Structure 1
């Protein structure tokens, strides 16, 4: 990756890239990533729930989600959809909200769903993380969220 500029100085582009090969059709996997009733079942790290999910699935449309810790602490995030190509690709902005409900450091997420034989390869990319600490925390959180997503997708597929 080439460095990005920040305030006239060069800095490394902090990004997360995670991949999962899932033995399910990408149409299903795309729906599970874009429909609120499904997002509520897997969004967020292990041991956290997503009690509030709103999605306006159109380019320029907004999304907003809350994840809740077992101790009852809420973490809100939101963004806008930049590109939607069902069932291949989603691009959206992502920002955590501070206590006043204002966005903190905005980031961009791309989720690709590629057909690989009988499987779908999901590639998750999040760029412009603000610092190395956030990169480490979010990498762990997204690893867990994707594990929940895959388990939910497999269970949903079995249910028919």
Structure 2
């Protein structure tokens, strides 16, 4: 993922996925896929709720190998099937930090280009996000999952 900081409140990124955008969108919105892709490292999902529609909520908690829980939650503001997801973004450890996350999906045939933006309300909120390794690792994990998902589906078609 190519990460940039276009201003003092925004983190932006571009990621290519080796799958059609309809499948990529499904992986970003369906609980059976989210359970497999939300945690970039060796964390364990212990709670997961996604209601992917404008006004719907998402809320998930994972626990790290050393036992620390982390919770992300928010509300979907805009949902355009296979095109765009916009939601509020909150992290349980940073109660005063508010952001809006935007994912734009662009068709590249059998691949998808996703533009990612996390726009914080204040520069102080953005300053909390000093590392993006989890974001980068997370999207690499999604890409690997998509490759394996397509391979598994192709293997099933052979029989």
Report whether the alignment pairs 1:91 with 2:83.
no
Q: TM-score, normalised by structure 1?
A: 0.82
Structure 1 unpaired stretches of 5+: 4-11
Partner of 2:113: 121
Aligned residue pairs, count: 145
The Cα of 1:44 is off from its aligned counterpart by: 2.5
CA contact (8 A) 2:76 2:86 kept: yes
Q: How much does 1:135 deviate?
A: 2.6
Is 1:44–1:50's contact at 8 Å kept on the other side of the alignment?
yes
Measure how far apart 1:148 and its partner are: 1.0
CA contact (8 A) 1:90 1:111 kept: yes
Does structure 2 retain, via aligned residues, the 8 Å contact 1:64–1:76? yes
Residues 1:140 and 2:129 are matched in the alignment? no
Structure 2, unmatched stretches of 5+, are 1-5, 154-159
Q: Which runs of 4+ in 1 moved over 3 A?
A: none
CA contact (8 A) 1:94 1:109 kept: yes
Q: What SS does the aligned partner of 1:53 have? A: strand
